[in-house]
Amino acid sequence: IKNIYIYYFVGLTENLLQKQLVDNDEVIEEFFSEISSIKDFPKILDPQVFTQLISLEECAVHLWNWAVTKNVGNNINKNQKAKVQHIACSLLYCCEPENPTEGVLRKQILMASKTGRTWLDCKDPQMADHFLRLAVKSLETLYSQLMSRVEEADINSSKGDVEKDLLRILSCQAESALCQGNNNEAVVYMQRCREMLLRLPKETAYVSLMCYNFGVDTYQLKKFEDSSFWLSQSYDIGKMNEKYSPGSEIQVKMCKISKYALVLHIELLLHRGKELLGKQKIEDIITESLQWYNYSLSFFKAGQIDPNLAKLQRNRASCFLQLKQESYCIKEAERCDPDSIFTQFTVYKIAVQENNVERVQRTYCCPFGSQTEELTQALEHIQICWEVWKTLKASGSFPLDPTDTLLLLYEFEARAKLNDPKHSSVSSMLAFSHTALAMESPAHFPLLCKKALRVALSLHKKQPQTDLSRCSKCVHSLIKLSLPNGVSEVEAHVLEEVWDYYEEALSIITAPDDFPEMETLWLLTRAWNTGILMYSLAQYPEAERWCGLAMSFIRHLGSLRESYETQVQRNEPFLSRWAGEGEGSNRGVFVALERDSRT
């Protein structure tokens, strides 16, 4: 670097540091362009420019402080901050003496690692790599100096600081590699970090959380195998030193998301015909689940009797059962919750696997027929689905998703058929979840939705005081799902089904004030216009039937009754003719009801 460059950089620094400068961006861009043109940082050995070098180093420090100072934080954006740090760090390395002191090296390490981190935050991993490599090189030089001073008492403390810095830089290099799609390279970097935790146990939480973040990132990219690996690494690292682990709540989250990623990965494997590899991954899930259950077991006291402990022991027993290994977990479950249908079913499954005929017969009197076995298994699967669904809901918003109601429906049916006393509490929840099913057509699961709505309607009617508003919404949704808008033809069995829903509505309307008027109007209009559809299809008796049904709702209207009576009366003289005259001259007279302007 010639003297003119030194003066030039000093001048640019002074311009940038002026407090009254309005256009920071122009100066930053000019400075960044000039410094980027220098491919290598040559060491300046000429004593004649030593004074200027001191000025240049001061420029680097001033620029760095300017970029990170809080009062400037709002004046430059993240990308500009990265560029100023880039400039400052580059100038510092231009001033590097032949034999840098410990102070110079530590300054280089700080600036280079922070600049790399900032470029990573700006989503520019390639630029970050350059400064992270510089930081590692300076760290190696510093470590070499420290090792040569073996006589100093604080050598271990200094080495610890260097290793801590190295661990942070390696983790940033792993992140950069992952951003560029180099998962294997990221694994190598993080493996080095994991090995260093034996000497730096306090960094356990940091490394564990870095792996967790990698798992989430790869999961969002649908790289489920990579995601599963990083999440399991996060969990395993967290267990290396429980004193410095991220904490039980975060570990629960890690374990749940890890299992979910594995499930998706197994789906992909099976879809690609890789059954053996899929089977291995299933065993991995079971083993991982077992590790988590063992960890959870440590929260209970010895000899404690608790339904949650029984559930935990049943889960452990099921894992051992799947792995074809013996265990005594089920005995603990029997001790804690012997009357549970799940406990008895687990005992039954173990007895079957062990070919213990006597025990099978004993547990079969619970009773356990083939249907009971299937229903109990269904309940187990439903509980797993609940856990997965809770994890999914915690990670995003699903406003129109019917999963809650569908799972309640499945659980209600299974428990009711098993005569499980818990089915009454499930039915209460199901009764108040109909809003999740009142979806715009086409519904995602129309048959299941209708089934759930019928159950909900029945439960509402059984309440001590019938909630007509909720009942009306159920009927509304049932009709809308069965007879969507815009259909050009309707099968006879569908018409009969919808007719039953209308009769249901009539049976629960007692007076205009008790039933929402707008719902009554909707029922009237939909029935009348169904008659129009039948008329257009030359099904005249059906047209008369549906128009007659519509007219039966008029008396239940309140303030709108007169308006709609008038509209209906215009068409009433033709109703009897349609059935008798077939394709008579009055076909064109039949018109759809119009919504009152007040509605």
DSSP class per residue in 555-573: GG-STTHHHHHHHHHHHHH
Please compute the mean of the pLDDT values over residues 174-180 and round it to a whole number: 96
Q: What is the CA angle 391-211-127, rounded to 5?
A: 125
CB contact set of 278 (below 8 Å; sequence gap of 6+): 266, 269, 270
Please compute the mean of the pLDDT values over residues 570-592 and round it to a whole number: 46
Give a yes or no: residue 398 inside a domain: yes
Give a yes or no: residue 440 inside a domain: yes
**CB crowding 62-99: b at 16 or more within 10 Å, else e:** ebbebbeeeebeeebeeebbbbbbbbbbbbbbbbbeee
Give a yes or no: residue 433 inside a domain: yes
pLDDT at position 301 over 90: no
Residue 535's Cβ-count burial label (10 Å; 0-12, 13-18, 19+) is: buried
More confident call, 483 vs 127: 127
Nearest alpha carbon to residue 503 among 456, 537, 546, 539: 546
Write down the pLDDT at residue 39: 61
Contact 327, 346 (CB under 8 A): no
Contact 281, 262 (CB under 8 A): yes
Query: pLDDT band at residue 73, thresholds of 50, 70 and 90?
Result: low
Write down the pLDDT at residue 160: 81
CB contact set of 234 (below 8 Å; sequence gap of 6+): 208, 209, 211, 212, 214, 215, 254, 258
pLDDT tens digits along 35-50 = 887 665 555 545 455 4
Give a yes or no: residue 259 inside a domain: no
Give the CB-side neighbour count of residue 11, counting CA atoms within 13 A. 8
Give a yes or no: residue 12 inside a domain: no
Distance CA 343, CA 338 (A): 6
Write down the pLDDT at residue 438: 46
Ranges of H-type helices in 326-369 = 329-336, 341-353, 357-364
Write down the pLDDT at residue 425: 64
Distance CA 419, CA 413 (A): 10
Write down the pLDDT at residue 99: 86
How many residues are present in the chain?
A: 599
Please compute the mean of the pLDDT values over residues 152-169 and round it to a whole number: 81
CA dihedral for 517, 520, 526, 531, sign (positive or negative):
negative
More confident call, 154 vs 304: 304
pLDDT at position 331 over 80: yes
Write down the pLDDT at residue 132: 97
Strands (E), 159-317: none
Please compute the mean of the pLDDT values over residues 417-421 and round it to a whole number: 74
Q: Which two tokens stand for residue 454?
A: 């019928």
Nearest alpha carbon to residue 293 among 264, 261, 263, 322: 322
- What would you measure as the largest C-alpha separation in the chain, in angstroms? 118
Total of domains in the chain:
1
pLDDT tens digits along 341-384 = 788 888 888 888 888 877 777 776 765 566 777 788 888 888 88
Please compute the mean of the pLDDT values over residues 483-499 and round it to a whole number: 81
- Lowest-pLDDT choice from 86-95, 421-430, 560-569: 421-430
Give a yes or no: residue 375 inside a domain: yes
432 phi/psi in degrees, rounded to 5: -105, 15
- Lowest-pLDDT choice from 30-39, 140-149, 210-219, 341-350: 30-39
Query: pLDDT band at residue 1, thresholds of 50, 70 and 90?
Result: very low
If one counts every other C-beta atom within 10 angstroms of the C-beta of residue 467, the result is 14
Give a yes or no: residue 394 inside a domain: yes
Query: pLDDT band at residue 169, thresholds of 50, 70 and 90?
Result: very high
pLDDT at position 588 over 50: no
Contact 21, 15 (CB under 8 A): yes
Nearest alpha carbon to residue 436 among 407, 469, 466: 407
DSSP result, 90-104: HHHHHT--SS--HHH
Write down the pLDDT at residue 207: 94
pLDDT at position 221 over 80: yes
pLDDT tens digits along 376-387 = 888 888 888 888
Q: Which whole-number Å values give the CA distances from 256 to 227, 253, 382, 389, 521, in the listed order?
A: 12, 5, 16, 11, 49
Write down the pLDDT at residue 74: 62
Q: What mean pLDDT value characterizes the chain? A: 78
Give a yes or no: residue 450 inside a domain: yes
Write down the pLDDT at residue 214: 94
Name the helix (H) or strand (E) containing 147: helix 125-148
Residue 10's Cβ-count burial label (10 Å; 0-12, 13-18, 19+) is: middle
pLDDT at position 277 over 60: yes
Q: Which two tokens stand for residue 554?
A: 């008029």
Distance CA 141, CA 145 (A): 6
pLDDT at position 564 over 60: yes
Query: pLDDT band at residue 6, thresholds of 50, 70 and 90?
Result: low
More confident call, 81 vs 1: 81
Distance CA 118, CA 48 (A): 36
Contact 442, 431 (CB under 8 A): no
Write down the pLDDT at residue 7: 55
Query: pLDDT band at residue 182, thresholds of 50, 70 and 90?
Result: very high
Please compute the mean of the pLDDT values over residues 504-533 and round it to a whole number: 81
More confident call, 432 vs 294: 294
More confident call, 58 vs 485: 58
More confident call, 594 vs 198: 198
Name the helix (H) or strand (E) containing 141: helix 125-148
Give the CB-side neighbour count of residue 456, counting CA atoms within 13 A. 33
Domain carrying residue 419: 371-454
> What's the count of helices (H) and strands (E) in the chain, helices before strands?
25, 0
CB contact set of 108 (below 8 Å; sequence gap of 6+): 89, 92, 93, 96, 100, 134, 135, 138
CA dihedral for 488, 491, 495, 498, sign (positive or negative):
negative
Write down the pLDDT at residue 107: 93
pLDDT at position 315 over 70: yes
Write down the pLDDT at residue 589: 36
Write down the pLDDT at residue 575: 52
Taking the C-alpha atoms of 312, 316, 322 and 323 in order, what is their torsion angle to the nearest 10 degrees?
160
| Percent composition of the chain: helix, strand, coil (DSSP 3-state, to 5) | 75, 0, 25
